[in-house]
Structure 1
């Protein structure tokens, strides 16, 4: 049976794409607010040590969990293809396996509590800052299973194109976290002030509540089972390996850029950080189309309807490119305002040229995100891994050349290398679809 015949995308492609992408966008924007809320409250504590400790704990925590993004991405693709093919039983098994695996990995990660002091030291924690960072990470690690289970459940829900539940969960987690932050960080009545530890406990409690909600939603929307034979454990692990290497390429390249920018002096470093924050924020808009495209492409391929899957690819690329153009124009217009808000006055001179480069690269960057989502939907993870590694090696070599030559306006050259990195990724992504380089899943 061709399940794609009843899908709304067939008759209303643009409306369907936007209807699914908007909740994804807001859920992506909501997720980083947990860390922002923690920072805002902890900044009210006396001294600079609490904020420094929070920064170390947050970076360490985020770095650890980047390695397990396959629990969400891989689950979303497998569930979407199973549902598209009418194999509801396999979708139940896949999301059940991913959720169980997420819980087990989370429990194992809790064992990192024994190594917190050296981890904090690795990120620059010394003395009181190290102690507070360890305290923060201890309580955050108690929520590790909840974070990973939510990640797997989000993938399952988005695989069946339920984009609203992840949004509701993300908003609820933020609301609970903000309320608990104020109560636990500063104390009230019989509840003592817990400082940085209170921020971690607030996040952990809210994430556990979110995980319970996610599991309930998955059970109601898809189903859960202990009978997981045939769920594709080996396939999920293969996806995990490919995404681990791909993520490693991203982290190494971005870390290299940050290092070279900071070696250019405090002005270059400050301007780079300001631009990088906006660069990451703009990615949220483009990821919304990528995640939506992943679900739709997976669904139609599962249904055996390659024609509709290619229509999805075209629509996602067009909408992403249009969004990239809009971001470009907005960034050019907002340059002075962003500089005033985020950049020290002495760094204005180096900020402007670098900001212009990043603004102009948004349209091309939009296609790199769009094609990532499309190829996630096809399950073409090895191709994405290889293209990312090629882009990171080539662009990373350019950054090293910049570091050795130390030209004026180092920041411009770093972002030009980043533009090359983006162009290579977008190029590989596009030619895999049109005309269909190699054994392309969407090739004619």
Structure 2
């Protein structure tokens, strides 16, 4: 292994597509696994499927909120790497792993204590669905420390510009889950518990691979496993800002869904189809944000702000170009895609309305997500938190609620979502054109 002192900052780095492609695989692996898991459990009965939705939804929500373990660690590790301090970047991985273990154990215990009340709350009261969700959650929640360790591992490996290894680790874990899930659920006769056990096994494999990679790096650089309170505090501050940002996004989407649900069943069905497609496409575009994090963090760590600006310009072009391509494909496939989800004429009519919003928003979203990655790579999470909060409170939520009061329905809600993207685009674009984000430093 090359010692840190021999690594020259400012050398040629990987291209944006070379970083974005494996990042996309990692981002898509979990949703695709959940689709297979849902299909397998769906062949049991409706109660089991609903129980999976309740229990799995709780774990997915926690994972989304704690994704700062990946994104925040990437930014800090990348700046260490850019400064030629690979050992320091690995040390960021150590601290993130300790933080992941602490949070994971605490949340796993919390779910064991509150599994019943939480699933009854989501299921609308006691009954078979709540019982099924509780059963799944009690078996699967001990995997939370493993899930969060994998997030931290993704973070520091991205920070050292190694995205193929985490791609392999995540695919290995998902592969184990994909093999075990149908076997445990059906031939083994474990039902919903089999789904939870397969989930747990896949997380254990991925976490073990990330832990092994970290241990090998530590041995090569002589980095200590010891937790450092100052570094943990710094990661928690960055994590707090990203967590608030994620929570605001979840709240805004939940409020929009609640408004649409009060309009009509057809509008709610069309909203669900369009929103799930929007979230899936966001994964594609978010791969550029991950590439931007790595490249911008490395450039700033090496003291090369001009390179960071150049990366920002390049990643914006990639995000815009991909967004335009996605928009064209969505419009071209408008007669084909919605019928894959439903054959209800009323839902299809509403989907036809919302499709224009979904398609025309993609170029804007491509640029916003790219610029989000630029600012994350610079450690500018506090600004992103404030911008997301302001855009939701000033754009998305007011228009969504107004749509309910004035009976604007689905077009009103999706106009709110479009305004949310536009406000964020203006704010992050203005920030990147300035210079404040270039002065961020890595705290101890």
Superposition TM-score tier, normalisation by shorter sequence: over 0.9
How far apart in 2 are the matches of 1:269 and 1:428?
31
**What is the Cα deviation at residue 416 of structure 1?**
1.0
**What is the Cα deviation at residue 229 of structure 1?**
3.6
Q: Which residue of 1 aligns with 2:17?
A: 18
Q: Which residue of 1 aligns with 2:292?
A: 293
State yes or no: 1:70 paired with 2:49.
no
State yes or no: 1:5 paired with 2:2.
no
State yes or no: 1:211 paired with 2:210.
no
**What is the Cα deviation at residue 170 of structure 1?**
1.9
The residue matched to 2:84 in structure 1 has which SS?
A: coil
How far apart in 2 are the matches of 1:401 and 1:87?
52
The residue matched to 2:162 in structure 1 has which SS?
A: coil
**What is the Cα deviation at residue 228 of structure 1?**
4.1
Q: Which residue of 2 aligns with 1:194?
A: 190
Q: Which residue of 2 aligns with 1:145?
A: 145
How far apart in 2 are the matches of 1:378 and 1:222?
25
The 3 A distance-change label for structure 1 pair 322 and 386 is: same
How far apart in 2 are the matches of 1:26 and 1:222?
27
CA contact under 8 A between 1:53 and 1:132: conserved in structure 2?
Answer: yes
Task: Provide the alpha-carbon RMSD of the alignment.
Answer: 1.7
**What is the Cα deviation at residue 222 of structure 1?**
6.3
Q: Which residue of 1 aligns with 2:235?
A: 236
Count of matched residue positions in the alignment of Structure 1 and Structure 2 = 428
* Cα deviation code 1:69-108 (max 9, x no counterpart): 2211111111100111122332222111110111121111
The 3 A distance-change label for structure 1 pair 106 and 169 is: same
CA contact under 8 A between 1:242 and 1:381: conserved in structure 2?
Answer: yes
How far apart in 2 are the matches of 1:325 and 1:221?
41
How far apart in 1 are the matches of 2:101 and 2:434?
41
The residue matched to 2:438 in structure 1 has which SS?
A: coil
**What is the Cα deviation at residue 374 of structure 1?**
0.4
CA contact under 8 A between 1:298 and 1:377: conserved in structure 2?
Answer: yes
* Cα deviation code 1:107-148 (max 9, x no counterpart): 111212111111012212541111110010111111011000
Q: Which residue of 2 aligns with 1:440?
A: 437
How far apart in 2 are the matches of 1:141 and 1:440?
38
The residue matched to 1:79 in structure 2 has which SS?
A: helix
The residue matched to 1:32 in structure 2 has which SS?
A: helix
Q: Which residue of 2 aligns with 1:278?
A: 277
CA contact under 8 A between 1:94 and 1:228: conserved in structure 2?
Answer: no
CA contact under 8 A between 1:116 and 1:134: conserved in structure 2?
Answer: yes
Q: Which runs of 5+ in 2 are unaligned?
A: none
In terms of mean alpha carbon deviation, does 179-188 or 318-327 score higher? 179-188
How far apart in 2 are the matches of 1:8 and 1:84?
10
* Cα deviation code 1:277-309 (max 9, x no counterpart): 100011011111000110000001000000111
After TM superposition, the score normalised by the length of structure 2 is 0.93
How far apart in 2 are the matches of 1:229 and 1:60?
31
The 3 A distance-change label for structure 1 pair 3 and 117 is: same
CA contact under 8 A between 1:93 and 1:229: conserved in structure 2?
Answer: no
**What is the Cα deviation at residue 67 of structure 1?**
2.5
Q: How does 1:116-265 map to 2 (within 5 A)?
A: 116-124=115-123, 126-188=126-188, 193-221=189-217, 225-229=224-228, 232-265=231-264
**What is the Cα deviation at residue 248 of structure 1?**
1.4
CA contact under 8 A between 2:169 and 2:210: conserved in structure 1?
Answer: yes
How far apart in 2 are the matches of 1:342 and 1:238?
42
**What is the Cα deviation at residue 271 of structure 1?**
0.3
CA contact under 8 A between 2:83 and 2:303: conserved in structure 1?
Answer: yes
How far apart in 2 are the matches of 1:231 and 1:7?
32
How far apart in 2 are the matches of 1:210 and 1:152?
12
The residue matched to 1:337 in structure 2 has which SS?
A: coil
CA contact under 8 A between 2:86 and 2:160: conserved in structure 1?
Answer: no
Q: Which residue of 1 aligns with 2:403?
A: 402
In terms of mean alpha carbon deviation, does 109-118 or 121-130 score higher? 121-130
The residue matched to 1:308 in structure 2 has which SS?
A: helix
State yes or no: 1:312 paired with 2:323.
no
**What is the Cα deviation at residue 19 of structure 1?**
1.3
Q: Which residue of 2 aligns with 1:428?
A: 427
